[in-house]
Amino acid sequence: MPTDIANAAPPSLWRRLAAMFYDAWLLAALWLLGATGDFFVRQAIGLGTDGTHLPLQIYLAACPFLFYGWFWTHGGQTLGMRAWRLKAYTDSGEKMDWRRSVIRVAAAHLSLFAAGLGYLWILVDRDRLAWHDRLSRTRVVMTAKG
Look up residue 79 and give its amino acid. L
16 in Cβ contact with 86 (< 8 Å): yes
Question: What CA–CA distance (Å, rounded) separates 40 from 50?
Answer: 13
22 in Cβ contact with 84 (< 8 Å): yes
Burial of 139 (0-12, 13-18, 19+ CB in 10 A): buried
- The residue-averaged pLDDT of 113-126 equals 96
At 2, the pLDDT band (50, 70, 90 cuts) reads low
Q: What confidence tens digit (pLDDT) does each residue in 47-85 have?
A: 876 777 899 999 999 999 999 999 999 999 999 999 999
Nearest to 20 by CA among 136, 146, 125, 132: 132
Domain boundaries, the chain: 13-142
